[in-house]
Amino acid sequence: MLTEILIELLQLLIVMFGSPLLVGVIRKAKARLQGRRGASVLQPYADIRKLFLKEVVVSENTSWIFRFTPYLLGTTMLLSALIVPALTTRAPLSFMGNIIALMYLLLLGTFFLALAGLDAGSAFGGMGSSREVAVAALAEPTVLIAIFGIALRAGTTSLDGIITRFAAEPLLMLNAGHLLAFFAFFIVALAENGRLPVDNPATHLELTMIHEAMILEYSGSLLALVEWAAAMKLFLFLTLLSNLFFPWGVALTNTPGALVTAFLALAVKLLLFAGAIALVETSVAKLRLFRVPELLAGSFTVALLAVVTAFFIK
């Protein structure tokens, strides 16, 4: 019983404290690829700490929803951290939901963040909210069809079950459909987390923003929570990509040796994904806003192909 609680706590702490590091690594990798030295990988920690120490300025136009949303975002991310099998498939609270429930939990955060963007009464916030929900809505079919594709091969939609099945029978993953599902899921991860080519997280031009425009009015500890939650979301998506599609290393039992291996394996996989994202962000330009649906439609077609191959190629 105690070990179970400790394991959940460990997973939670890894997500909480690993996510700013992940963001830092991506930024550093981008900087290097662009020929700069870049800030230290620990810079996001310093940023969050600085924000927590600053005063909070809240617009007079806002309501309780504005002040509530950062806490809700943190809540949904931490709850998701309990469900996503970062280290082990035997986390005691992972029964709370399968992958579909996870997607809806993340959508809850997006819903409130979009409301908060509208709350301040600024045109930028409204614009950000409008674009964010459009991207989220158009990415939903891709996510769920990719999940369908994975679930077809694994025979279950439970995250633990998928990883256990694929780890036990790696040959199940050796087909075109699985690769297509991975590709579609990767595009969705970029879209949902506001990464190039969908959204530039480092832009200063409000009219090009999607996620950043929604959170323009936030400051102080509220902004810290929002930024942290965004980092955790990215961490969770990459963890899903790593562990669902490359399940080697994930602890199938809760022994200390397995957990340490799982931690190292996760670190390596996340590092590789961080590098991949940095590479993608450096090589492509941001898409025009109304080209993003085309990208998402393309990834949807890819996901649908993944499902169709599962039916026709047994």
Partner 1 sequence: MNAMIIDSTMLLLFDATLACFSMGALGALITARSPALARVVGHIGALLGAIAALTFGLGGLAGGSMQMSIPDLLPIGGAVFAVDRLSAFFVVVIAVGAIPAALYAIGYTREYAGKHSLAGMGFAFNVFVTAMILVPLARNVLSFLALWELMSLASYFLVITEHEREETLRDGWVYFVMTHAGFAALLVGFLLLARATGTMSFTEWGVAAGKLDATSRNLIFILFALGFGSKAGIIPLHVWLPRAHPAAPSHVSALMSGVMIKLGVYGLLRVAFDWLGAGPLWWGATILIVGAISGVLGVLYALVDADLKRLLAYSSVENIGIIMLGLGAAMLFQTFNLPGLAALALVAALFHTFNHAAFKSLLFMGAGAVLHATHTRNMEELGGLIKRMPQSAVFFLVGSLAIAALPPFNGFISEWLTFQSLLLSFQISAPTVNLIFALGVAALALTSGLAAACFVRAFGITFLALPRSEPAALAREVAWTMRAAMALLALACVALGVAPFVILAPLEATVSDLIGGHADMHFDWNAVVANDGFGWVAPLWIALGLLAFLMAIPLALRLMGVNKRWRYYETWGCGRALQTARFEYTATAFANPFRRVFALLYRPVKELDIEFHPESRYFVHTIVYYNEGRSVFEDTLYRPLLRLIQALARAARGLQSGNVHSYLVYILVALVALLILTV
Binders of partner 1 among residues 107 to 136 (CB under 8 A) are 107-108, 110-111, 114-115, 118-127, 129-131, 133-134, 136
Q: Which of 148, 167, 183, 275 lies at the binding interface for partner 1 (CB under 8 A)?
A: 148
**Alpha-helical segments (H) within 155-219:** 159-168, 176-192, 211-214
Q: Which of 31, 105, 267, 276 lies at the binding interface for partner 1 (CB under 8 A)?
A: 105
Q: Which of 39, 93, 276, 287 lies at the binding interface for partner 1 (CB under 8 A)?
A: 93
Give the torsion through C-alpha atoms of 213, 217, 220, 226, to 10 deg.
Answer: -40
CB of 32 to partner 1, least distance (A): 33
Quick one: residue 255, left, alpha or beta (phi over 0 = left, psi -120 to 50 = alpha)?
A: beta
**Which CA distances in Å does 131 have to 118, 201, 208, 290, 296?**
12, 14, 10, 10, 14
- Angle between helical axes of 99-119 and 123-154 (0-180°, round to 10): 180
CB of 36 to partner 1, least distance (A): 29
Binding of partner 1 by 231 (CB under 8 A): no
Nearer to partner 1 (CB atom), residue 128 or residue 247: 128
Nearer to partner 1 (CB atom), residue 148 or residue 248: 148
Closest CA to 21 of 267, 226, 241, 223: 267
DSSP calls for 211-280: HHHHTTT--HHHHHHHHHHHHHHHHHHHHHHHHHH--TT-BSS--HHHHHHHHHHHHHHHHHHHHHHHHH
Nearer to partner 1 (CB atom), residue 273 or residue 300: 300
Binding of partner 1 by 252 (CB under 8 A): no
Which region, judged by CB under 8 A, interacts with partner 1, from 26-34, 178-186, 274-282, 302-310?
A: 302-310
* Three-state DSSP class for residue 88: strand
CB of 225 to partner 1, least distance (A): 7
Q: Which of 10, 31, 33, 96 lies at the binding interface for partner 1 (CB under 8 A)?
A: 96
Nearer to partner 1 (CB atom), residue 160 or residue 270: 160
Report whether 83 contacts 246 (CB < 8 A).
Answer: no
Size of interface with partner 1, in residues (CB under 8 A): 86
Residues numbered 24 to 83 that lie near partner 1 (CB under 8 A) are 52-65, 71-72, 74-76, 78-79, 82
Binding of partner 1 by 158 (CB under 8 A): yes
Binding of partner 1 by 151 (CB under 8 A): yes
Which region, judged by CB under 8 A, interacts with partner 1, from 29-37, 89-97, 232-240, 266-274?
A: 89-97
